[in-house]
Structure formats: structure tokens, C-alpha cells
Homo-oligomer: A and B are copies of this chain.
Amino acid sequence: MPLDTVFAALGDPTRRTILAMLLEDDMAVTDVAEPFEMSLAAISKHLGVLTAAGLISQEKRGRVKWCKLEPDAMREASIWMQSFGQFEAVNLDDFERFLAVELDNAPSHPSKN
């Protein structure tokens, strides 16, 4: 089940921090590792877990491997959680309308293709 790997991946604070970093921009493995007090190999493993969960993708260009956030992977998990109540935080439909408006107003966003 993809939910297994996604939730398990999100259960580690190092990995959640990495995801938050990638929210800013794509990053090379070495740059991802830099702020952490742990070996590069350990970060490489974390990135492997995130990749296996589909939460990021990694593309090698030259000797540098770029890490890119794949937020769609959270969608299924998010929807699963939403099913646990009207108590729940955000209405997804409202959220999508919000996103649609945001995308229209985005200044430097290249037109989709």
C-alpha cells in the first residue's frame, strides 16, 4: 500500500525537514545534507526512503543528483486523513479553489503545458 510508505516516510523528523527544504527549491544531495549533523550516507538513505514513497524524485545531471519535491504523493494520504471528519482541518474542495486562484495570480509562474 502506498499509504504505508508515505506515512512511514513522514514519521521521521529528518525527512519532514528535508521535504520542507525542498519546498523552497530543488536541491543537490550534498546541499540537502549540509544543515544536518549526520553523515552524507545517512541523508542519502533518507532520500531513498522519500523516493520510494514517491514524495520526491531524483534526477542525475552530471555528477550531481537533484532532488525534487513531488507533492502529489501526499494527496492520497491527505484525502485518507480528511475522511476522518468534518472536524478535520481543511476542506479539500475549498482548498483546490484556493489553489486555482493562486495559480492564476502567480506572478512568475510559467504557463502550464
Interface, chain A (partner B; CB < 8 A): 1, 3-5, 7-8, 10-13, 16, 19, 23, 69, 71-72, 74-75, 77-91, 94-95, 98-99, 102-103, 105-109
* Chain B residue contacts of A77, Cβ below 8 A: 10, 81
When all copies of this chain in the complex are counted, the total is 2
Contact of A87 among B11, B81, B82, B107 (CB under 8 A): B107
A26 vs B77: C-alpha distance when bound (angstroms): 23
Bound: A3/B14 CA distance, A:
12
B84 touches A69 (CB 8 A): yes
Most buried by B among A83, A90, A102, A107: A90
CA distance A99 to B7 in the complex (A): 22
Residue from the list B5, B84, B99 in contact with A85, Cβ < 8 A: B99
Q: Please report the C-alpha to C-alpha distance between residue A103 and residue B85 in the assembled complex, in whole angstroms.
A: 12
**Cβ A4 vs Cβ B8 within 8 A:** no
- The residue on B at minimum CB distance from A82 is B90
A85-B71 Cα distance, complex, nearest whole Å: 5
